[in-house]
Amino acid sequence: MTQYDNNMTGIVSKNDRKETEQHPDIRGNCEIDGVQYWISGWRKQRKDGNGSFYSLKFKAKDAPPPRPASKQAPAPQNGGLSDMDDDIPF
């Protein structure tokens, strides 16, 4: 039995879970050079008004999830210098 080679192939279909304009219109997956990717696509109108196209985004399936935004530490008051004396001890 011959095994099917999925490399450089994929599928997309209508996103039935779209709830807001930010959610993709189409979703799917593909394999490129042995790496599995999620595909998201948004339907957009051409600027000249003659038709539409899909803007695509690919994300590796094994990519770590995005980190939640955290508060940045305040900048040091002394420009990052230590509180040590200015005199060189040697």
Q: Where are the domains of the chain?
A: 9-60
Q: Alpha-carbon distance 32 to 30, whole Å?
A: 7
The pLDDT, as a whole number, for residue 48 is: 96
Q: Per-residue pLDDT tens for 38-78?
A: 999 999 999 999 999 999 999 999 988 777 776 666 665 65
With pLDDT > 70 as the criterion, what percentage of the chain qualifies?
Answer: 76
Note every long-range contact of 47-56, with CB atoms under 8 Å and residues 24 or more positions apart, other chains counting: 54/25, 54/26
Residue 79 pLDDT more than 60? no
